Each structure stands twice: as C-alpha cells, then as structure tokens.
C-alpha cells in the first residue's frame, strides 16, 4: 500500500506540473502576448532605438529579450507552485526562468540577424518559417534549460538531464504548435517536461545507496520517510 500511495503521489505531482505549465503559458498568451502590453513594449523599444535598418535589428533583439523576460517570469511563477514541493529556495526558479527565456530569445534573434541580415531564406515561407522556429526552439531550450539547471543541480539528483529535456520539450512544443495548435503545444510542454522533473524528484527522494542502477519511468522509488523497514 505504501508503494501504491507513493506512485499516486508522484502521478499527482506530474498532473500538477502539467496544470501549472498550461496555466502559465495560457496566461502569458492571453494576458500578455495577446494584449496591448506586448505590442506597447515593441513600440517603445523601436521608438527608443530608432528606425534605420541597423537600429531595427537591434530593437528586434532587445524587444525579444524584454518580452522573454516577462514570458519567463509568468511561466516561472506558475511552475513555482509545483517545484517548491521538490526543492527549498524555489524562488530562484522564477528568476532563472525569466532570465533564461530572455537570454535564450535574445541569443536566437542575434544569430538570426547575423545569418540572415535582412535577407529572407531561399524557399517558401512555410519551409523556412518552420525551420527558423526549430532553431528558436533548440537555442531557447538550451539557454532556458541551463538557467533552470543551475537551480536544480544542488537540489535534485541527475539534474544534468534537465538541459536536454528542455531542448526536446521546446522542439516538441514547436512541432505541435505548427501542425496542431498552440493550446495543444502548451499541454505537450507540461507533459514532456513533467515526466522528467517527476523522475528527478523521485530519484532524489531516496538515499544515494538505494537508487536503482537501471531506473526507468516505471520504477518510481519510495521516499525514504515512507520506506518499509
């Protein structure tokens, strides 16, 4: 019964993670990106930087950073509701998410400006837009994942897996968004990242000497406080 109860608890955590991720992304899309707030930020930055070709490129990079800062702040705040159940000092997660997404988007736009420099790629809009989105997903996933990893590394065992997890999560999210819908991509983001954060939490719930060598998602361990003697 103890093992069943523990598995149920970890499933409940995964569901909570999915819920807060979907809620955070939805709030960001509806109350920030979909309102005058985001467009107002773009106009303010463009007015401040200037309107010549070089200034427009700079404003695109800065704008992506500011928008990413708010995107990451909202997502991090919602994820904090779940992550604080696994680690102490979880407020750092909010800062890491905000800065990580901001720097990730700025890095992507900087690479885009340097490689394209005002020239559209060869091929149809459909082809190159999807490819650029994939690059965005990979770059953002690397930077965001690393920023969040800095919070997890001293709290959860095997936390180095979080960086590749975020790359896969962001890529999967983009593919679903492109071929299905933004709403479905929100669920994919929460579901994929939730599986790994749940496993990391479960692994960290037992002493080092009791972690199974061939661990798989089906082998959720029992926290030390609940293990039968």
- Looking at residue 168, what is its pLDDT? 97
Low-confidence residues of the chain: pLDDT under 50: 209-229
| Ordered alpha helix ranges (H), 155-212 | 162-179, 182-203
Q: Which residues of 180-215 are buried (b: 16+ CB within 10 A; e: fewer)?
A: eeeeebbbbbbbbbbbbbbbbbbbbbbeeeebeeee
- Which two three-digit tokens encode residue 211? 């972690």
Cβ-proximal residues to 159 (8 Å cutoff; 6+ apart), any chain: 149, 152, 153, 200
CA distances from 114 to 51, 86, 138 (A): 18, 41, 17
13 close to 85: Cβ distance less than 8 angstroms: yes
- Looking at residue 113, what is its pLDDT? 81
Stated pTM of the model: 0.84
152 close to 169: Cβ distance less than 8 angstroms: no
Which DSSP helix (H) or strand (E) runs through 93?
helix 91-116
- Looking at residue 229, what is its pLDDT? 35
- Which two three-digit tokens encode residue 33? 């990106």
Rounded to whole angstroms, the maximal C-alpha distance in the chain is 72
- Predicted confidence (pLDDT) per residue in 8-58, tens digit: 999 999 999 999 999 999 999 999 998 888 989 888 887 888 666 566 778
- Looking at residue 83, what is its pLDDT? 95
Cα gap 84→97, rounded to integer Å: 14
């Amino acid at each position: 019964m103890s093992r069943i109860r523990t598995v149920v608890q970890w499933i409940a955590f995964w569901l909570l993670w999915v819920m807060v991720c979907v809620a955070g992304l939805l709030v960001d899309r509806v109350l920030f990106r979909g309102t005058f707030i985001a467009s107002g930020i773009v106009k303010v930055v463009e007015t401040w930087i200037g309107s010549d070709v070089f200034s427009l490129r700079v404003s695109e990079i800065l704008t992506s950073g500011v928008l990413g800062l708010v995107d990451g702040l909202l997502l991090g705040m919602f994820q904090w509701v779940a992550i604080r159940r696994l680690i102490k000092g979880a407020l750092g997660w909010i800062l890491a998410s905000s800065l990580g997404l901001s720097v990730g988007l700025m890095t992507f736009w900087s690479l885009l400006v340097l490689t394209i420099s005002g020239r559209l790629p060869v091929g149809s809009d459909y082809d190159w837009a999807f490819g650029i989105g994939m690059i965005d997903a990979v770059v953002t996933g690397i930077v965001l994942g690393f920023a969040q990893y800095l919070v997890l590394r001293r709290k959860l065992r095997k936390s180095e897996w979080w960086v590749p997890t975020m790359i896969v999560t962001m890529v999967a999210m983009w593919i679903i968004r492109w071929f299905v819908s933004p709403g479905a991509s929100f669920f994919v983001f929460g579901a994929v990242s939730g599986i790994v954060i749940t496993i990391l939490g479960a692994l960290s719930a037992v002493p080092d000497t009791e972690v199974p060598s061939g661990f798989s998602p089906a082998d959720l361990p029992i926290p030390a406080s609940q293990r039968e003697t």
